[in-house]
Chain A
Amino acid sequence: MKHYFTLLSHELRMLLVSSSTYIAATAFLAFMGFIFTDILNQYSKAPQETSPAHVFFELFWLPVFFMVPLLTMKCLAEERRLGTLETLLTTPVTTTEVVLGKYSASYLLYLTLWGSTGGFFYILKRFSGDMRFLDPGPLVGGYLFIAISGLLFIAVGVFASSLSRNQAVAGILCFSMLFALIIGARFLGDAGFLGRDGLQTVKDAVDYAQVLSHRNDFARGVVDARQLLFYVSGTVLALIFSILGVEAKLLHN
């Protein structure tokens, strides 16, 4: 892990000088701003039962679907397409270091983007002067969920990027995997055929992997170790597959 920090700082610098980062950040903040404005509009029309933060984080999957592929599709696919992966891997760095460096940089950017939405709540507090809108429970729970689930989402994106040298393919692959993970698991959980006796273990597994219900738990302030384990083990698995993906491509390119 000697070169991890060299690679990480290199990746961060590359993200900071790249215009696509700023375009993605602007698009993300504009999109989240619209959602937030819309939520506030509804609150101004009629009193609601839940706090704005609760509704805001309920829609987390919308930006995840387009932000995560955008942030991660480039990382390994582009390096392979340009051939710079070859120059990188002929220095004394390991594939693990390369993948982890890229993963960490994308994850930090993801966190920074989400963190900047904190400004919305600050503005709300500043101008409404009403602390009721800032229920700290859902707010902290929501950000904690974003940070923990982001580990897995970004890892899935890096994995998708390790499979192709075409950014577009990597992006679509990442989108599909995230869709299957978040929405697909929900559909599967509602499906009637899983209610049969013999499929009980499968149903348990699907119920365990419900990202959307994990979010509700976090928002209510319930941080379950099993859910943490789900994201952390999923992340580790996706990263191991990414490393294998990069190395397998070397063997067969």
Chain B
Amino acid sequence: MSDPPIAIEVSRLVKTYGGVTAVGDISFSVARGEIIGFLGPNGAGKSTTMRILTGYLPATSGSVRICGVPVATQAEEVKRFIGYMPENNPLPEEMRVSEYMYFRGRLKEVPRRKLGSRIDEVLEVCDLKRVRHKIIGQLSKGYRQRVGIAEAILAEPPVIIMDEPTIGLDPHQILIVRDLIASLRGRMTVIISSHILPEIEVTCDRVLIINQGRVVAQGTPADLRREIFGHSSYELQLAGDGETLATLLATVDPTLQITAQGEPDADGFRQVTLRTDRDDELGELLLRALLAMNMRVRALSRAQPTLEDVFLAATRRSWDAVAPPKPAARPESRGQKTEK
């Protein structure tokens, strides 16, 4: 089978429930082997979109293709390409871990001869070997979550869809799950949704932020930062005259401005926040200029807006756009340039 380079192709997807629009005209595509993060506030349509991708829910309109196969008409075929872990990770309470794996493996049409070794493999990868004979209902949350992930990758599907895989885990377990997902990079296409933004930032190649059923931003975390904020900030701790500083800044870069200034502490140092429209690194230039003017500098750093800031800005922006009675044009085209 010659694999098309696009693993998931969603075009103009719409889903309405009894008059309420859960997903309104979403389009995106995911390349093979890419890990993509799905962000959005509660009720943004993340889970609904994921369910449509798996063929579990039918879409109202629009088209979804998984590995080139349309979900709407060939749902059975598409289900063979997908490993899916739903929200809250429902598992049968009475089964043992190994029994569950065997059952799921049979349902997913893993050949009986390969199944035993494949189960050993995923249990090893997910660090579940110690609990393989335990009853799922007695496992702790972290183990249950990993059982869900092990089950999703069991049949080695080309596409893996996980709805909030790290929800309710402690930081140590999150690290394990993150490594696990990262280990799939290149081999499998992964879509994960999460509220834990640093999580997404570390693991995902690309982020898709949706709000109120629309894609409000998409691209790599770095692209999104640049796109949403359009400026960079620097934080300094320095001691020296304020007016000299202002003139000095103008010589370094005309757009450089002081946005916040703290009170001097006992040693005369104060916190200063600068803002510039320039995208390239100004740190060294700034430091050299400051030292040349005999100003004492204790710290200088470039403030990186976290994905959290991006997320908040992007979702707020879309609320602003949707809030008026006449909804504004879709902000979707904005992300197009970053699409791979």
Contact = CB atoms under 8 A, between A and B. Distances in A.
Interface of A: 2-3, 6-7, 10, 13-14, 17-18, 82-84, 86-94, 250-252
A251 B108 contact: no
A6 B51 CA distance: 24
A148 B251 CA distance: 95
A87 B84 contact: yes
Given A90-B56, A92-B109, A83 B90 contact: yes
5 contacts: A14-B92, A83-B90, A90-B54, A92-B80, A94-B76
A93 B107 contact: yes
A86 B89 CA distance: 10
B58 interface: yes
Nearest to B95: A14
B90 A82 contact: yes
The 10 closest A-B CB pairs, nearest first, are: A83-B90, A91-B107, A6-B106, A90-B84, A92-B79, A90-B54, A84-B90, A82-B90, A86-B86, A90-B56
Contact of A90 (B17, B55, B99, B109): B55
A86 B91 CA distance: 10
B94 interface: yes
A46 B56 CA distance: 64
Q: Chain B interface: which size bin?
A: 20 to 34
Contacts, number: 58
Contacts of B94: 14, 17-18
A161 B109 CA distance: 28
B79 A250 contact: no
Contacts of B104: 91
Contacts of B17: 252
Contact of B91 (A14, A84, A91): A84
B92 A90 contact: no
Given A91-B79, A94-B76, A86 B92 contact: no
A133 to B, nearest CB: 42
B58 A3 contact: no
A82 B76 CA distance: 23
B23 to A, nearest CB: 15
Contacts of B93: 82
Contact of A250 (B56, B95, B108): B56
A79 B51 CA distance: 17
A2 B54 CA distance: 20
Contacts of A92: 76, 79-80, 107-109
A196 B18 CA distance: 46
